[in-house]
Amino acid sequence: MPLAEWMAQRPMPYSSAELCALFSRQRLRDAVTAGTVTRILPDCYVSSQYRDSFHARCAAALHWLGAPAAIGSTSALYLWQLMEDEPEVVTAVVPHATRRSTPSWLRLYRTHAALPTSTINGWTVVEAQIALAQGYGALSAYTRSRVLHRAFAWGHVSAESMVDACENLPRVRRRGELLRRVDRILGGAESYLEEYSVAHVFNTADFEDLVPQFTVRVEGRIYRLDLYDVESRTAVELDGARFHSDAESRRRDVRRDADLASVGILTVRFSYADLMNRPQWCRQRLAAILQVRTRTPQ
């Protein structure tokens, strides 16, 4: 089998010694000259089909740098499946004394500390809380919150592990913001929209009695209310388009609202667009509803 065909079946890096042992130095030179095999890093070769592959680049970086190198920052967040979008740059965590000239697609994160790691599909990756602390500040505002909430929901991080990571790493961009978000998640916020609404929309004295993630049981079904005003028995639902736009979601929401109404709970829904673009209107509407409901015996 030709060397190029053999490597095309294996999207991983090999050293020249490994390839020459299986084929020959001349066949390796011929494949590189023909453009079917690429020297992606010093003494690190991949099939040219995979030269731009994020996963092949992660493997090549670890192969080239050797232990105790690990994938970190946003690259690790992607391998933990906390991010959907593939990073343009691979970040490798290496000992502080490491000095290497790297291509534009590879960035080195130098540290004096030995950071905790896990193995994901054969790659050595820093733990999720370390990756979050390293990469949080490089993400967009929406992605920062989404990734953090997902990490908590999937059990990859805890409040204690996030605080420890932020305190022990010397460089954490947006450290204060990250720790404030951790506090809000501990307070019950389960999504970016909920967190944003509590922090920037319903953040005045009129709404200080709203309880996040209040649980109600109706005829054996359990519902978690995004926000709940106990005195007026008013539930506030924050509808992100991603989870409330299809027909099945709408049918589910209608049944939920009817069930809650059967026990005297009024559901008020605010859309993502209104919360983001008309926060003052949302505040006025909800304040008026709570005022009327409070005056009227429930």
- What are 83-131's pLDDT values in tens digits? 999 999 999 999 999 999 999 999 999 999 899 999 998 899 999 999 9
User: Could you give the strand order of the β-sheet that contains 234-239, starting from the edge strand earlier in sequence?
Assistant: 211-218, 221-229, 234-239, 266-271
Q: Please report the pLDDT score of residue 44 as a whole number.
A: 94
Q: Quote the DSSP letter at residue 14.
A: B
Q: Please report the pLDDT score of residue 212 as a whole number.
A: 83
How far is residue 219 from each of residues 116, 215, 255, measured CA to CA in Å? 47, 13, 12
Q: Please report the pLDDT score of residue 156 as a whole number.
A: 94
Q: Please report the pLDDT score of residue 240 as a whole number.
A: 65
The reply to whether the predicted model has a pTM over 0.85 is no
CA distance 223 to 203: 24
- Joined tokens for residue 109: 């994160």
State the residue for tokens 């192969």: 63
Q: Please report the pLDDT score of residue 184 as a whole number.
A: 78
Cα angle 11-48-24, degrees, rounded to a multiple of 5: 85
Mutual orientation of helices 159-168 and 128-135 as an angle, nearest 10°? Answer: 50
Q: Please report the pLDDT score of residue 241 as a whole number.
A: 52
Q: Please report the pLDDT score of residue 244 as a whole number.
A: 45
Identify whether the C-beta of residue 229 lies closer than 8 Å to the C-beta of residue 265. no
CA distance 264 to 287: 19
Cα-Cα-Cα-Cα dihedral sign, residues 58, 62, 65, 67: positive
Backbone angles phi, psi at 269, to 5 degrees: -110, 135
Contacts 24+ apart (CB under 8 A), 168-173: 168/113, 169/111, 169/113, 169/130, 169/133, 169/134, 170/111, 172/133, 172/134, 172/136, 172/137, 173/136, 173/137, 173/138
Q: Please report the pLDDT score of residue 249 as a whole number.
A: 77
pLDDT < 70 stretches in the chain: 188-190, 240-246, 297-298
Q: Could you give the count of Cα atoms lying within 13 Å of 77 in the half-sphere of its Cβ?
A: 29
CA distance 79 to 156: 12
> Which of helix, strand or coil describes residue 82?
coil
- Tell me the one-letter amino acid at 150: R
CA distance 209 to 293: 14
Residue 98: left if φ>0, alpha if ψ -120 to 50, beta else—which one?
beta
